[in-house]
Amino acid sequence: MANIKLMNKISPIGTDVFKGGDYNVGEDVEAPVGLMVRSAALHDMEFGPELLGIARAGIGVNNIPIEDCSKKGIVVFNTPGANANAVKELAIAALLLASRNITGGVEWAKTLAGDAEAAKLVEKGKSKFEGPELLGKKLGVIGLGAIGVMVANTAYNLGMEVYGYDPYISINAAWSLSRHVNKSDSLKAICEQCDYITIHVPLNPATKGYINDELFSHMKDGVRIINLSRGEVVDNAAMLKALESGKVAKYVTDFPSAEVLEMPNTVCIPHLGASTPESENNCAYMAAAQLKNYIEYGIIKNSVNLPEVDTMPDCKYRICMIHENIPNMISQLTTALGDAGVNIEHLTNKSKKDMAYSIIDTNDNLPADLEAKVSAVAGILKVRVIAY
């Protein structure tokens, strides 16, 4: 029985993936081989040696200790693209909220409740809430992943002149991006050209405080900024100065904090980016399917710390080995298997930065001490054998 522990409430669309198999799924299970998580913080959690993988039903993984997981041979999955449409739709709404003072107007209109002259007062006071149209304005999209590409394409269809910046754009994203989206070679160019800027980058040490005093100095006066990425991507002290000086006309963020809620000309959305039933279902299903495929077949797809290996087994046994990406590792593994009298039918090896993953398929019966012998090889982090 394989235990799957739920760290948050997960849509049944996801947990149903494990039905019919030899799984025990729930919030109270012990010694899990897999974790499913949304926003729960795992940094202080002790991971047992039986834990194989963590599946994040969403894109951000800053709530998971990635480095610690890598050292223990634990695969961390996320679900890129599963919530892309939901976030794209909110980004388009955010563009409108940044442009037209919709929220201010709505709040003001509520104050007229019960006034017999409300209709006349609306006509008299509405000019205080006017704002520019999106048509013909220049939009800079920082980060052209699944969400950024969809935002860029939709904004172009709304009549905006769109500029995109992403030095690490994937081949799939590049194919999906409209040919009408202009390529920018630097953040500075985006800042100098654009009337609106929307941010779609992951939070990591390189992007913390990404939008800062230096970038604001290159932006147009009155620029409007949307942040549906992560709150820490924006330097709040720098944003406050930019708002107070008028450099930034409006800041729309999906990440309210005590500090941000006090800022002028700011629209705070309560982290609704992926809060749609469709998105939650998509993320839960994708996360569960990836975790299940890894447990049963050793397949890795959409991992943030291990390379992608998407080959189905066609032998009696599959030996899965997570190890450091160091010289002579493959020769040591093949020697260890050769010494054990195991013939290799198929060997797959992929690496991702300092981490590597090797799969060996064989039809030979395996000695009982094989896992222990392979685990003894320097640089090996986790070994398991799957029998079919």
Task: Just list the catalytic residues.
Answer: 230, 259, 271
Contact (Cβ atoms closer than 8 angstroms) between residue 257 and residue 231: yes
| Structure-token pair, residue 191 | 């800042």
- Phi/psi at 70 (nearest 5 deg)? -60, -45
In angstroms, the Cα distances linking 259 to 54, 62, 239, 241, 373 are 32, 21, 11, 13, 55
In angstroms, the Cα distances linking 216 to 55, 116, 219 are 37, 46, 5
Nearest-angstrom CA–CA distance, 15 and 33:
15
Nearest-angstrom CA–CA distance, 170 and 96:
29
Question: Please, which residues bridge with residue 107 across strands?
Answer: none
Q: In the chain, which ranges are continuous DSSP H helix? A: 12-15, 66-71, 84-99, 102-110, 118-125, 146-157, 171-176, 187-193, 213-216, 236-245, 258-261, 277-297, 329-339, 370-375
Question: Please, which residues bridge with residue 183 across strands?
Answer: 164
- Nearest Cα neighbor of 131 from 161, 97, 157, 107 is 97
